[in-house]
A = this chain, B = another copy of it.
Amino acid sequence: MKYAFAKRVRHLQSSAVRDILKVVNQGNIISFAGGLPDDGLFPAKAIEDAFSRAFSKGNKALQYGETEGYRPLREVILERMAEKDITGFTADHVLMTTGSQQAIDLFSRVLISPGDVILTEEPTYLAALQVFQSYEATIIPVKCDEDGMIMSDLLSKIKLYKPKIMYVVPTFSNPAGRVWTLERRKELIKLIHKHHVLVFEDDPYGDIQFTNEGYTPIAALDDGSHVLYTSTFSKTAVPALRTGWIVGPYQVIRMMAQAKQANDLHSNSLAHQALYELCRHFDLDGHIQSIRELYAHRKDVMVESLSAAKKSGIITFEEPKGGMFLWLEASANVNTQALLPRAIQKGMAYVPGAPFYAGEPKQNTLRLNFTHATDEEIVKGMQALLTMFQEVEEETSLIK
């Protein structure tokens, strides 16, 4: 039978890159492609204890839950938000989601009609781009530099496209690992208030910082009307519980909750109860500190492995101040998508940069995760990558 799929699925087709990387996960390749936390860090004992506490509450813990999520967990999240200066909200302004991915999806579902413009950074999180495309949005990328979005370009695009929404990852962006300056964040708030643009601030990595600078979320600079802030327990506690949240203006959260009712009724409420117990009885912030230390070390190993090549000009990159990724730019003649099968032959894998672009991609970019491989694997994997680049250089000069 020929299945007549909806028009929107043309944006859901599996990419060639994803198909290649699926093979990688089954082989003996060192993968820097995924966004996996280090397994060894998971506080397994504390999570098992948290489940025991949840079970001790009796059978009610196993019944259907509220669409918005377990209310005591939403209260805990408000406390954690307040530590980031995101205040003025109640539990009614918080929606629990199945990972922060579902927050991106529900936001898009209630705000994007086909053809609507959404502004994004360039490059930006590829799975967010896929969601926006699946709702048939017109994605307009805004130019960025090492301080964040370039405000003059943002302003001209706001004037030109009159967008009602934008999507940003201002702290340790995915894939570029960048951090917006406070000044840019403040300028953004002014602009969006003046031009009535609703901002989705995606902050899965904000807690994973390697310095003590402390970054102010854009939501903390807002008055509660123009910014939705989302984050997740996947990077700080465990991914398997698939628990994220979004906090923001009541009307938007309310509409997203109604969309969630159609989507899946509610997320796993036993996981919510366990995470509530975890937050109450486990030093999550102390745990986050140990995550920061390990990931900062891994980042150092990767940067060190790449430093000679950077000096010699074969590659360029900015050293990440946090997050899970290093964004690398190779020589202009390198096509990282075309080279991926060759990298895999050499025993390592990455994500080519092109899918992170809504506009014209830089084909010589790639994203490297530094949180899942061991020190030895990082050294070995970077050697393989650089060897390949070296070979490509030589082959190119032979052709010339």
Contacts and interface: CB of A to CB of B under 8 A. Distances in A.
A64 B42 CA distance: 12
Interface in A202-240: 225-226, 234, 238-240
A104 to B, nearest CB: 9
A242 interface: yes
27 contacts: A1-B198, A3-B198, A4-B111, A5-B255, A7-B113, A12-B255, A14-B258, A37-B63, A39-B63, A44-B59, A62-B239, A62-B240, A63-B238, A63-B239, A64-B234, A65-B239, A65-B240, A101-B263, A101-B265, A105-B264, A127-B261, A131-B262, A240-B268, A242-B265, A242-B267, A263-B263, A270-B271
A344 B161 CA distance: 50
The 6 closest A-B pairs by CB, nearest first: A98-B264, A62-B238, A102-B264, A268-B268, A12-B258, A240-B270
A383 to B, nearest CB: 26
Interface in A123-148: 127, 130-131, 134-135
A239 B6 contact: no
A55 B62 contact: no
Nearest to A243: B268
A332 B204 CA distance: 56
A267 B241 CA distance: 8
A36 interface: yes
A159 interface: no
